[in-house]
A = this chain, B = another copy of it.
Amino acid sequence: MKIGFHNEIENKTVDIEGAVGVKIRWLIGHSDKNAPFHMRYFEVEPLGNTPLHTHNGEHEVYILEGNGVLNNGEKTFPLKSGSFVLVEKGEKHQFKNLSDKEYLKFLCIIPVESSR
Contact = CB atoms under 8 A, between A and B. Distances in A.
Interface string A85-116: 11111010100000000000001010100000
Contacts of A34: 58, 86, 88-89
Interface stretch (A4-12, A13-21, A43-51): A4-12
Nearest to A38: B60
Interface residues of A, number: 37
A52 interface: no
Contacts of A3: 70, 77, 79, 83-85
Contacts of A82: 5-7
Contacts of A111: 36-37
Contacts of A5: 80, 82-84
Given A1-B91, A5-B82, A34-B89, 6 more contacts: A3-B70, A4-B84, A6-B84, A37-B37, A39-B109, A62-B62
